[in-house]
């Protein structure tokens, strides 16, 4: 048999998976085994849920009695550090299977009875807001036990970042973590990507196109939640490629109350047919804003960039152009000036490249910022594949970062330069004592010869007159403190200089 068709042996094989139950059991066992085997990955997994740093032990299908029933949670994680022990039950779903509220409430009761700390759920469900659980349960059961959720997409993203970017100290443990990544990336593992906009998508899409959608219509809440979940999935996917934590942007009110975000998004969808959100990528000049216009059938990604705070208007435009060498010609560039609403000018990048002054309508006005936007065709299909809404949004986000946002750097002012220092002091006028001369920048002493108006010679001080007429007196007074007095003699003022002792 030809070698090119041989299959490499895997630590976690995907062959032999028959049915959802086997798929779920294998995914649970593979994940929990790697959590206990790879120290860095296990520590990073339990830390957000309150788990301490310590020895991790994992078990699957542990039996518990709840009343007269015997229940089997999919897994159990126990972390020990000294005398302290932290324990969590784990419930796993793969493929399109969703978590059940009744099942989770039973596991919360078991955890409370045994003094466990948490219940962790893993599925392909991506909540609209980070930290929010996709399944509603009785809040009274959460008084002593915490409930957490993590999607398979996030598990995969964390595994990739730990192995490729944060690092694993032990080479064998790094190889084991790589085997888990290969398994989760396989289509048979059940760790699916975001692949469905929900059952209500088609109806809501058609109502938007017809202009008949209302905020109270059934299904709009599901579509809005799915769009926010898509933004989170796009963030995880991009962060997995960049090796950093990419997250959707929410205001404080939206983070505290997800209903605020859902209501605002639903109202915008009804009024303008748009769904929008922003993504924060560490180290970039601004937020990546995604706007899906269902009526116009287009998706727009844009970023706002602060302009340099010095230089002429065309100089600021050229600063931006130097960073957009790989950006497509169809990129829209807008310029915003101080004390004005809206943009001053908007042109395609191809036009601005030929004539940077096209963005400068009034050279006297200061350009404060730029907006760069790229538009693409928006898909309409519910699932994945060519012409789908999900793929068109994901492609737009990845393309905009790769061609535009990833190349931009924030402007920074040049550091101030030292002023030149005079090494040799200038020649001094003999009439100025050396102790009174200065070459400092703030000094008003000049080195030029002093000129006195003959008509104003009578206004010279008595000290100057005495020095001019009696050189020996000036010499004798050198280094002494002097007292000057004025008297009237024959209608003229006479100044008398008297030494009073050594100068202090």
Q: Where in the chain is the domain with CATH 3.40.91?
A: 7-189
463 — pLDDT class (breaks 50, 70, 90)? very low
Mean pLDDT of 393-421: 90
| Range scoring the smallest mean pLDDT among 116-120, 164-168, 319-323 | 164-168
Distance CA 256, CA 199 (A): 28
pLDDT given at position 4: 61
474 — pLDDT class (breaks 50, 70, 90)? very low
The DSSP code for 455 is: G
CA dist 441 → 328, 429, 438 (Å): 52, 19, 9
Q: Give the orientation angle of helix 152-161 with respect to helix 171-185, to 10 degrees.
A: 150
171 — pLDDT class (breaks 50, 70, 90)? very high
Distance CA 265, CA 273 (A): 10
pLDDT given at position 355: 93
Mean pLDDT over all residues of the chain?
84
Encode pLDDT of 363-384 as tens digits. Answer: 888 899 999 999 999 999 988 8
Mean pLDDT of 107-115: 95
Cβ–Cβ < 8 Å for 239, 231: no
Using a 10 angstrom Cβ sphere, with 0-12 exposed, 13-18 middle and 19 or more buried, the burial of residue 434 is: exposed
Mean pLDDT of 254-266: 87
Distance CA 38, CA 177 (A): 7
Task: Find the angle CA(180)-CA(231)-CA(325) to the nearest 5 degrees.
Answer: 95
**Global model pTM greater than 0.75:** no
| Range scoring the smallest mean pLDDT among 55-59, 136-140, 258-262 | 258-262
Cβ–Cβ < 8 Å for 485, 495: yes
Encode pLDDT of 273-308 as tens digits. Answer: 999 999 999 999 999 999 999 999 999 999 999 999
Cβ–Cβ < 8 Å for 344, 325: no
Identify the residue whose tokens are 């809440």: 221
Q: Which CATH architecture has domain 7-189?
A: 3-Layer(aba) Sandwich (3.40)
Encode pLDDT of 173-214 as tens digits. Answer: 999 999 999 999 888 888 887 888 988 999 999 999 998 999
Residue 131 or residue 445, greater confidence:
131
pLDDT given at position 364: 86
């Amino acid at each position: 048999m030809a070698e090119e068709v041989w299959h490499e042996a895997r630590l976690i094989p995907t062959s032999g998976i028959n049915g959802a139950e086997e798929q779920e059991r294998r995914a649970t066992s593979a994940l929990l085994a790697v959590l206990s085997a790879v120290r860095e990955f296990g520590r990073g997994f339990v830390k957000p849920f309150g788990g301490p740093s310590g020895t991790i032990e994992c078990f699957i299908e542990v039996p518990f009695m709840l009343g007269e029933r015997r229940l089997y949670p999919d897994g159990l994680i126990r972390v020990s550090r000294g005398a302290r022990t932290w324990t969590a039950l784990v419930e796993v779903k793969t493929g399109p299977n969703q978590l059940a509220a009744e099942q989770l409430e039973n596991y919360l009761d078991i955890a409370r009875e045994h003094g466990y700390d948490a219940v962790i759920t893993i599925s392909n469900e991506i909540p609209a807001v980070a930290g929010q659980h996709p399944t509603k349960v009785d809040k009274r059961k959460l008084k002593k036990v915490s409930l957490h959720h993590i999607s398979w997409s996030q598990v995969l993203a964390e595994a990739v970042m730990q192995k490729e970017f944060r690092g694993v100290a032990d080479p064998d443990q790094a190889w084991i973590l790589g085997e888990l990544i290969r398994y989760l990336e396989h289509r048979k593992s059940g760790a699916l990507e975001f692949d469905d906009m929900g059952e209500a998508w088609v109806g809501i899409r058609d109502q938007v196109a017809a202009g008949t959608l209302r905020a109270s219509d059934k299904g709009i809440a599901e579509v809005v939640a799915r769009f926010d979940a898509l933004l989170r999935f796009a963030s995880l996917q991009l962060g997995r490629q960049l090796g950093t934590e990419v997250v959707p942007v929410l205001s404080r009110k939206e983070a505290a109350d997800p209903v605020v975000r859902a209501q605002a998004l639903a109202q915008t969808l009804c009024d303008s047919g748009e769904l929008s959100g922003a993504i924060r990528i560490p180290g970039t000049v601004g937020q990546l804003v995604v706007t899906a216009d269902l009526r116009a059938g287009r998706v727009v990604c844009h970023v706002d960039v602060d302009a340099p705070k010095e230089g002429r208007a065309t100089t600021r435009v050229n600063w931006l152009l130097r960073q957009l060498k790989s950006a497509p010609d169809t990129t829209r560039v807008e310029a915003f000036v101080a004390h004005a609403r809206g943009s001053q000018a908007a042109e395609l990048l191809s036009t601005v490249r030929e004539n940077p002054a096209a963005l400068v309508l009034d050279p006297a006005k200061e350009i404060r910022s730029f907006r760069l936007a790229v538009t693409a065709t928006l898909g309409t299909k519910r699932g994945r594949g060519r012409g789908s809404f999900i793929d068109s949004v994901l492609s737009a986000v990845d393309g905009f970062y790769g061609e535009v946002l990833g190349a931009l750097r924030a402007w920074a002012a040049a550091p101030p330069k030292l002023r030149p220092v005079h090494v040799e002091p200038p020649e001094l006028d003999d009439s100025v004592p050396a102790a009174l001369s200065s070459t400092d920048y703030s000094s008003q002493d000049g080195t030029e010869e002093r000129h006195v108006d003959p008509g104003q010679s009578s206004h010279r001080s008595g000290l100057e007159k005495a020095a001019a007429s009696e050189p020996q007196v000036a010499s004798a007074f050198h280094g002494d403190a002097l007292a000057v007095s004025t008297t009237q003699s024959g209608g003229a003022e006479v100044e008398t200089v008297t030494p009073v002792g050594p100068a202090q």
